[in-house]
Amino acid sequence: MNANSSTVPSIIANSTYIVPQPTTSCTEEKNTPIVPSSIYVKPTPSKPAEVYTPPAPPKESSKAVPAYTPAPVPSKPAEKPQPVPAYTPAPAPSKPAEKPKPVPASSKAADKPKPTGGYSSGDRIVVNGHKWAITYTPYANDGQCKSEGAIKSDIKKIHDMGFTTIRSYSTDCGVFQYVVPECQKYGLKVIYGIFLEGAGKGTFSDYANQQLEEIKNKAPKDSVSMVIVGNECMFNNNCQATELASYIDYVRKELQGAGFPSDIAITTTEPVNVWEEKGAALCDHIDVFAVQVHPYFTSSVSADMAGDFAKQQLEQAKKVCPGAAAKGAYITEIGWPAGGNDNGAAKANPEAQKVAMKTIQDTVGYESCLFSFQDDGWKHPGELGVEQHFGCADVLY
């Protein structure tokens, strides 16, 4: 914990993605039942929560600036008639007035916020105003793989909403059969994931390496935004920092050996407190910094404080690996539940979700992957009963 963290409330165990085990799939079926998971896999840190004090409001609004519309040219006041001289030369023909060229919204600095760091200056990170990425899992509420038609409809909606990128946690359930082709169709980039679990499905396992092989053989190289190795793997006690670091290096070597450009970032992601407790060993192995932030799980944070809290947490977490963060720093999962139990000041209802997601988009949307496109009915509801209710597509703007 850094010296400035005393003003930040303790991080309470946050939502974590668990791969369901569908009984039928789009491509490779597995006849195993869904294993319910709980978000509170790791014990809550013992340090008592401290009241979060939001930073002073910014001097300037971070809201997206609307597209530029040329101001109307004011009309000149009527001129008084002048005496006509004895000889009046014929007026020279005037040129037709040139129409002002519209200035595209993207040409104004305020309209194109962008994450800092050299990685964001390339073409792997594409931002549309305050929108960047949203998580997408091709599972229906019953845990089965979605149909081709449902996936096509989802990806079209994500594109129409203005997002440029989706985050996929793994490669199962038709990701390469349906999801990726639809992303290619609409020009969406993909954050690919190699999901790591326990029980023989961790680093260097056949389970992990099969996902790596699919990415090597099937991912369009030009549309890869980044590759995330593991999702809260240390938080869930599924791997240690040293073995995760080794596997990140292995994934990078394998992908580059298969012809993937060296500018594609390979990284992992954890909650803020896990980065602070265990993450230093990973700093020399990640290309950019990625962190999970869930304001709802800190009971002193109300919906209207979610954006400021997220910004503060990102800045705090970046201090763990300043070198990687200087290249690029991103929140790879952030959301707010629309149902379940309240958590102190954090209310779990549709109105609170709407307020929270707006302030998140306004404040950190351009550097965040929003969680999630849809509700996940296949998940265990968790201790607070919220795990199935993070679908936010209907409240985004």
Per the residue annotation, which of 182, 197, 276, 333 is the catalytic one?
333
Calpha distance 150→33 (Å, rounded):
22
Three-class SS state of 135: strand
pLDDT computed for residue 113 by the predictor: 80
Report yes or no on 60 lying in a domain: no
* Tokens representing residue 15 in the block: 């939502």
Report yes or no on 186 lying in a domain: yes
Report yes or no on 241 lying in a domain: yes
Catalytic annotation present for 98: no
CA distances from residue 83 to 86, 88, 160, 251 in whole angstroms, order as listed: 10, 11, 62, 86
Report yes or no on 222 lying in a domain: yes
Q: What is the CATH number of the domain that holds 325?
A: 3.20.20.80
Three-class SS state of 244: helix
Specify the number of domains making up the chain. 1
Report yes or no on 97 lying in a domain: no
Report yes or no on 7 lying in a domain: yes
The parent domain of residue 343 ranges over: 3-50+109-395
Per the residue annotation, which of 232, 270, 367, 387 is the catalytic one?
232
Calpha distance 290→325 (Å, rounded):
8
CB 125 within 8 A of CB 115: yes
Strand partners, 194: 229
Where the chain has pLDDT below 50, the residues are: 1-11, 16, 22-52, 55-110
Residue 211: closest CA among 235, 227, 234, 194: 194
Report yes or no on 56 lying in a domain: no
Calpha distance 134→131 (Å, rounded):
9
Residue 348: closest CA among 380, 321, 381, 318: 381
* Tokens representing residue 264 in the block: 């594609």
Calpha distance 288→226 (Å, rounded):
9
Catalytic annotation present for 333: yes
Three-class SS state of 330: strand
pTM for this predicted structure? 0.76
